[in-house]
């Protein structure tokens, strides 16, 4: 490896500094269509290296926020989803559970999240009848409710009919053993001898 003398190093560093200074001074004087000077290239490379991560931070933050927004929107869509158990199979009218859910959505959910989502039926007419049923019920709730935003969705409501869930808990309560203290082992409550 060849050693560089201090004198050579100082001269080289001075030359680079002079070029960078000259380039930055003439940077504003560059005319349209002319080639950038070596100093300008050095300066733009230096600026790019100094500011390197700053160019990528805002797009990365936007993509993360967009991901969170999508997750939040999907969560509210699932929360405000009316499935097949919320509608009568024959008439496509809301059941009591469906009416309670619509009532909760329109009165308890945050105002910006008061959108009702209806699971698509097997036919277009079934989906349309379900949406009309929700509009009719919401329109009869209160005049202050106004027009309700009801959308169909491809998401399937996972769950069970309210009656079957209730029977599980009622059955558990009915078959619970009464609280009883264990039988004593015999001996009187006196001291041991």
Per-residue pLDDT reduced to its tens digit, 110-152? 999 999 999 999 999 999 999 999 999 998 887 777 788 999 9
Distance in angstroms (rounded) separating the CA atoms of residues 186 and 68: 65
Predicted TM-score (pTM) of this structure:
0.58
**Bridge-partner residues for 118, per DSSP?**
82, 152
pLDDT digit string (tens) for 28-51?
555 566 888 988 998 988 888 888
Q: Is the pLDDT reported for residue 18 higher than 60?
A: yes
Q: Are 92 and 130 in contact (CB under 8 A)?
A: yes
Question: Minimal CA–CA distance to 107: which of 138, 78, 134?
Answer: 138
- pLDDT at 192 (0 to 100): 56
Instruction: Give pLDDT, residue 152.
Output: 93
Confidence check: pLDDT of 57 > 60: yes
Mean of all residue pLDDT scores within the chain: 83
Q: What is the largest CA-CA distance in the chain?
A: 114
For residue 21, name the pLDDT band (cuts at 50, 70, 90): low
The segment with the largest mean pLDDT, out of 3-12, 28-37, 70-79, 160-169, is 70-79
Alpha helix stretches (DSSP H) within 108-190? 124-141, 162-174
Mean pLDDT of the 91-97 span: 93
Which of 63-72, 114-123, 151-160 has the weakest average pLDDT?
A: 151-160
Q: Is residue 87 scored above 60 in pLDDT?
A: yes
3-state secondary structure of 82: strand
For the cut 60, the answer to whether the pLDDT of residue 24 exceeds it is no
């Amino acid at each position: 490896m060849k050693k560089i003398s201090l004198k050579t190093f100082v001269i080289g560093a001075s030359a680079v500094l002079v070029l960078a200074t000259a380039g930055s001074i003439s940077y504003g004087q560059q005319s349209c269509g002319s080639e950038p000077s070596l100093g300008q290239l050095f300066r733009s490379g230096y600026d790019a290296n100094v500011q390197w991560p700053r160019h990528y931070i805002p797009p990365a933050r936007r993509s993360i926020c967009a991901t969170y927004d999508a997750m939040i929107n999907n969560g509210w869509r699932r929360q405000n989803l009316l499935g097949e158990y919320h509608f009568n199979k024959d008439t496509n009218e809301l059941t009591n559970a469906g009416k309670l859910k619509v009532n909760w959505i329109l009165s308890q959910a945050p105002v910006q999240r008061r959108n009702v989502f209806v699971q698509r039926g097997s036919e277009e007419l079934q989906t349309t009848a379900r949406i009309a049923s929700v509009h009719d019920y919401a329109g009869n709730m209160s005049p202050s409710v106004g027009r309700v935003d009801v959308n169909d969705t491809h998401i399937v409501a996972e769950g069970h009919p309210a009656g079957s869930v209730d029977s599980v808990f009622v059955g558990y309560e009915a078959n619970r053993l009464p609280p009883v203290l264990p039988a004593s082992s015999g001996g009187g409550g006196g001291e041991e001898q």
